[in-house]
A and B are shown apart, each in its own frame.
Chain A
Amino acid sequence: KQEVTQIPAALSVPEGENLVLNCSFTDSAIYNLQWFRQDPGKGLTSLLLIQSSQREQTSGRLNASLDKSSGRSTLYIAASQPGDSATYLCAATGNTPLVFGKGTRLSVIA
């Protein structure tokens, strides 16, 4: 059974810092891994999707990497801004639909 873990559970950084959010998964037989953003009281917005054959994906200040052999993915946020404050969730798709981690709650302090 796939299990997805995100560390840390919460993170607070000053504005302008570069930061890394971590995601690990137990079953490396995945089709893809997605990173989502969730604002308080809102639904989820897909940020990046990495196919199992890819190593990374980039969108603006965001870069996500995938290492299937070690069961890890990272989300790198460059030059963080207060508007980046949200909960970030990763989710892995394999033989079963998305399995989510519990998320990392990010606060960027101005």
Chain B
Amino acid sequence: NAGVTQTPKFRILKIGQSMTLQCTQDMNHNYMYWYRQDPGMGLKLIYYSVGAGITDKGEVPNGYNVSRSTTEDFPLRLELAAPSQTSVYFCASSQRSSGQGADTQYFGPGTRLTVL
């Protein structure tokens, strides 16, 4: 049981390049999330998904796209990378039962992205 895995761990992009950050979870969780964390700041939600085929915008979605074709995978796509997208990106997953339910989020180790 690996939990939430992310690849790559580090990446340097040039302005205008594109890339996909991969995220996979093996806990059969319905909910998956992408966050970015800038130095000295909390995490900000980029996109989230409540199940395969369903995605929704978070607080800071501009410049990113996501898809959720399977329960396990939730890739984040950066198109036309900009220096403002330099950040650490975290993927997370959780299982929410009906009503309030348990909602502990499990995080991956992060991808450190630099755009030059």
Asked if A4 contacts B42 (CB within 8 A), the reply is: yes
Asked if B42 contacts A103 (CB within 8 A), the reply is: yes
Q: Which residues of B contact A53 (CB under 8 A)?
A: 100
* Stretch in contact with the other chain, from B12-20, B63-71, B72-80, B105-113: B105-113
Nearest chain A CB to B109 CB, angstrom units: 5
* Stretch in contact with the other chain, from A14-22, A38-46, A65-73: A38-46
Q: Is B2's beta carbon under 8 Å from chain A?
A: no
Inter-chain pairs besides A32-B103, A49-B102, A89-B42, 15 sampled, C-beta below 8 Å: A34-B103, A43-B90, A43-B109, A43-B110, A44-B105, A49-B103, A91-B43, A93-B103, A97-B31, A97-B45, A97-B58, A100-B35, A100-B43, A101-B42, A102-B40
Asked if A98 contacts B107 (CB within 8 A), the reply is: no
Q: Is B104's beta carbon under 8 Å from chain A?
A: yes
Chain A minimum-CB-distance residue to B100: A31
Q: Is A52's beta carbon under 8 Å from chain B?
A: yes
Give the B-binding residues of A (Cβ under 8 A).
4, 31-32, 34, 36, 42-46, 49, 51-53, 89, 91, 93, 96-103
Asked if A32 contacts B100 (CB within 8 A), the reply is: yes
Q: Which residues of B contact A97 (CB under 8 A)?
A: 31, 33, 45, 48, 58
Known: A51-B100, A53-B100, A97-B48. A44 touches B42 (CB 8 A): no
Report the separation of the CA atoms of residues A97 and B45 in the bound assembly, to the nearest whole angstrom: 8
Nearest chain B CB to A48 CB, angstrom units: 9
Q: Chain B interface residue count: which class?
A: 20 to 34
Q: Is the interface of A mostly helix, strand, loop or mixed?
A: strand
Chain B minimum-CB-distance residue to A5: B42
Contact of A98 among B33, B41, B106 (CB under 8 A): B33
Report the separation of the CA atoms of residues A44 and B94 in the bound assembly, to the nearest whole angstrom: 13
Report the separation of the CA atoms of residues A69 and B105 in the bound assembly, to the nearest whole angstrom: 24
Report the separation of the CA atoms of residues A46 and B42 in the bound assembly, to the nearest whole angstrom: 15
Q: Which residues of A contact B45 (CB under 8 A)?
A: 96-99
Contact of B107 among A4, A45, A101 (CB under 8 A): A45
Report the separation of the CA atoms of residues A46 and B4 in the bound assembly, to the nearest whole angstrom: 13
